C-alpha cells in the first residue's frame, strides 16, 4: 500500500513527509492564490511518471547489459482549457546516453516499462493518450 499524507500550511500550500523522511511541498501560482513555494500537484504527476518509467528502463537496460551512462525523461502533458481538466495527452521523451546501445533493446525496455512495470503510466493510460519517443546519444 502507498500512503501520502499532506498537511495544510495556509493559502493553498500543503506539506508532506515521505516514508524516507523527505519533505514535499505543493503550492499554486499567485494567480490561483498560492505563493509558488512548491510543486503544483499536477506537475508532481508528471514527475511521478518520469521517475517511475526512468527507474524501470535503467533497471531493464542494466539487466540487458547495455552500457548506459545517462538517461533523461521529459514529460509534457496537455489538458482542456475548461473544467473538468483531466490530462488528455501525455508525451514522454527519453534521451539515452551510452556506448553501443542497441535500439531494439531500448525500445523493448520502454515497452516493458509502459505496458508492464510502471504503475503510474498504467494508471494514466486509461485516462490520457500516452505516446513516447526516444533518442540515443553515443558517448
Q: What is the CATH number of the domain that holds 17?
A: 2.20.25
pTM of the predicted structure, to 2 decimals: 0.93
CA 45 – CA 130 distance, rounded (Å):
13
* Residues 86, 127 contacting (CB under 8 angstroms): yes
- pLDDT bucket at 126, cuts 50 / 70 / 90: confident
- Decide: helix, strand or coil at residue 5: coil
Q: Are residues 50 and 118 in the same domain?
A: yes
Average pLDDT over residues 26-51: 96
Domain housing 91: 41-138
Q: Are residues 11 and 70 in the same domain?
A: no
Q: Is the pLDDT of residue 122 over 90?
A: yes
What are the grid coordinates assigned to 25, written together?
511541498
- The pLDDT assigned to 121 comes to 95
Helix axes 41-63, 103-112, angle to 10 degrees: 130
* Residues 114, 55 contacting (CB under 8 angstroms): no
The count of structural domains within the chain is 2
Q: Beta partners for 93?
A: 74, 133
Amino acid at each position: 500500500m502507498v500512503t501520502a499524507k499532506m498537511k495544510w500550511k495556509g493559502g493553498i500550500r500543503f506539506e508532506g513527509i515521505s516514508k524516507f523522511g523527505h519533505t514535499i511541498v505543493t503550492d499554486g501560482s499567485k494567480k490561483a492564490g498560492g505563493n509558488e513555494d512548491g510543486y503544483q500537484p499536477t506537475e508532481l504527476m508528471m514527475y511521478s511518471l518520469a521517475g517511475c518509467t526512468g527507474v524501470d528502463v535503467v533497471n531493464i537496460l542494466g539487466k540487458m547489459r547495455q552500457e548506459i551512462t545517462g538517461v533523461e525523461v521529459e514529460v509534457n502533458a496537455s489538458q482542456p482549457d475548461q473544467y473538468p481538466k483531466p490530462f488528455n495527452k501525455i508525451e514522454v521523451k527519453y534521451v539515452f546516453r551510452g556506448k553501443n546501445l542497441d535500439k531494439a533493446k531500448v525500445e523493448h525496455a520502454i515497452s516493458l516499462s509502459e505496458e508492464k512495470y510502471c504503475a503510474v503510466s498504467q494508471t494514466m493510460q486509461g485516462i490520457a493518450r500516452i505516446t513516447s519517443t526516444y533518442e540515443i546519444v553515443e558517448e
